[in-house]
Amino acid sequence: MSTWSAFCWPVANRAAWAAATNACRRSPEGRFFAHVIERLKPQVAELIISANGDPARSRPSACRWSRIASTAMPDLLPASLPASNGRAPIGLRAASAIAAASDTPFLPADLVDRLRSASGEGEANLVVAPISGGDAPGVRVVARDACSRSRSLADERRPARSAIGSGSIRQER
Amino acid sequence: MFPPVKIEGRTIDPFFNVNRPDELAAAEAFLQTSAV
């Protein structure tokens, strides 16, 4: 397993709901999201999910989030910011992360290993944008530095941030 | 770098991204006929 993190952003809250509750896998979004999680989770040390809203206040509850991800965190970036540009995990602990949209259900089982190899086994500082249709890449690699820039952008909005982790709860301000 | 994913004899772009209704339908069809 890689030391990298994976960060998934749901296309909509409905998709997050579906995957988290495991009750609505009949919906396309829920099934796709579940596939992304199932593909990425074995490949990384930490799986982070953007909860769109505040995961501490919205349903599914923190407990349900913790079943599927190491961390759920609010997506604090402006909705107008393209996914390919700014949807990076705030407070990322790993140096590098795979960021994947919840509507890319056919990700390779060896995605992280291959990207690590491509980056020379070092810390990834590259952005990859393999894409099949659409304008925004469904998958990319983000470096912690890039996440810091996103964090600065989010700080401008002065939100209360919370992250729910399995076995740990941290508040960041 | 990444070859197509082969599942039960069918292949698909591993980075297939659902953005349009026709892509949604295609992904749905693939999932229904494959044990992905």
Question: Does the distance separating the beta carbons of B2 and A108 come in below 8 Å?
Answer: yes
Residue B13 pLDDT exceeds 80: yes
> Sheet harboring A168-172: ordered strands across?
A139-143, A96-101, A5-9, A46-50, A71-73, A161-165, A168-172
Mean pLDDT of A17-38: 59
User: What is the chain B residue with the closest CA to A39?
Assistant: B36
For residue A60, say if its preceding peptide bond is cis, omega within 30 degrees of 0. Answer: yes
Q: How confident is the model at residue A173 (pLDDT cuts 50, 70, 90)?
A: very low
Tens digit of pLDDT for each residue in A106-127?
888 888 887 777 666 555 444 4
Tens digit of pLDDT for each residue in A39-65?
888 888 877 776 555 555 554 444 455
How much is the pTM? 0.63
pLDDT at res. A51 = 59
Question: Does the distance separating the beta carbons of B36 and A138 come in below 8 Å?
Answer: no
Lowest mean pLDDT among A20-24, A68-72, A108-112, B26-30: A20-24
Written as six digits, the tokens of A33 are: 């999201």
Question: Does the distance separating the beta carbons of B17 and A138 come in below 8 Å?
Answer: yes
Using CA of residue A141, residue A2, residue A114, residue B11, what is the dihedral sign? negative
pLDDT: is A28 or A130 the higher one? A28
pLDDT at res. A170 = 27
Dist. CA A164–CA B19, nearest whole Å: 30
Question: Does the distance separating the beta carbons of B17 and A101 come in below 8 Å?
Answer: yes
What's A48-73 look like in SS3? EEECCCCCCCCCCCHHHHHHHCCEEE
Q: Which chain B residues are within 8 Å of A137, Cβ to Cβ?
A: 15, 17
* Nearest CB to B23 within list A31, A133, A139: A133
* ipTM of the modeled complex: 0.88
For residue A151, CA distances in Å to A139, B4, B36 come to 20, 35, 35
Q: Which chain A residues are within 8 Å of B8, Cβ to Cβ?
A: none
Q: Is B29 on the interface with A (CB under 8 A)?
A: no
Q: How confident is the model at residue A36 (pLDDT cuts 50, 70, 90)?
A: confident
Q: Which chain A residues are within 8 Å of B16, Cβ to Cβ?
A: 104-106, 132-133, 138
